[in-house]
Structure 1
Amino acid sequence: MLDGKAWGLGAPVHAGALRWLWLTLLVILLDLGSKWLASEWLVYAQPVPLLPFFNLTLLHNPGAAFSFLASAGGWQRWFFALVAIGVCALLLQWLRTTPARHWWMRMGLALIMGGALGNLYDRIIHGHVVDFISLHYGGWYFPAFNLADTAITIGAAILIVDMLFFSGRNQANGSSEDQS
């Protein structure tokens, strides 16, 4: 363990925890790049069918997931931006203090942080989140989403799997803290 006081933290900082930020950066780059391509190549709200259940459809979401508060008048832009900043600060702290043997959890945290920062960029710069992935079956359409949303969902699923199946095993293996 590294001394947490060197970071201005009360908790220990585990060596290598911040190495997972490469995954966060990769998610941000892929997300923003794909949103830029979608914005350049797609016509707003005009579906481009790729598979019987999958379209590319450029949409803008000023709200949160499932267009929650999309028509709230504009204040939600800054509210959701502040929430994203707070969540990312908490996730970074959690990542810093997670022992190396919890690599699965570190990966989930890095994915969630990358997705949150990708959507935060959109929200601050554009005033809305760019969505373009549209899944459907028959007449049922899932709300459009993007790669950031995908990373957040996968990261959250990893954290749930970790809590359900790995956390108890890690505690049973002892309380010594790994470094790296």
Structure 2
Amino acid sequence: MTIAIGDKLPTATFKEKTADGPVELTTDQLFAGKRVVLFAVPGAFTPTCSLNHLPGYLENRDAILAKGVDDIAVVAVNDWHVMGAWAQSSGGMGKIHFLADWDGSFAKALGLDIDLSAGGLGIRSKRYSMLVENGVVRTLNIEESPGQATVSGAAAMIEQL
């Protein structure tokens, strides 16, 4: 079953690369008592993710935070090394959280996993964005096609805020 507006996020633990190495972050640490924009991509360094989806959130970071958002995070079914390299190469390190859902367990728990094996990617996350308040989903925007980043993009999120 797919997560819906009004649902509490499932408990999960992510890994994130920092200057001191990998750290584990739980959903409680990331979302409890906070208003957070979370968006997911099928994979770091993939074309739509790197050229369209992520840049929109990085370019509009200040505008999003100015709308009363405490934090922004991107999650992908990649390991923390890949997510850390993507954070570095995109200029996003330290600006938003780059969360590794290394085994896809978070995507599966949300009901937002997708089999992209035909394209050589395996099991990944659907592309989506959500506003999470104190661990509860307040908005949810799921892309129909993994190659699009319109309803889940930064501009759409800013309108919802």
TM-score normalized with structure 2 length: 0.29
Q: Which has the higher strand share?
A: 2
TM-score normalized with structure 1 length: 0.26
Greater gyration radius: 1
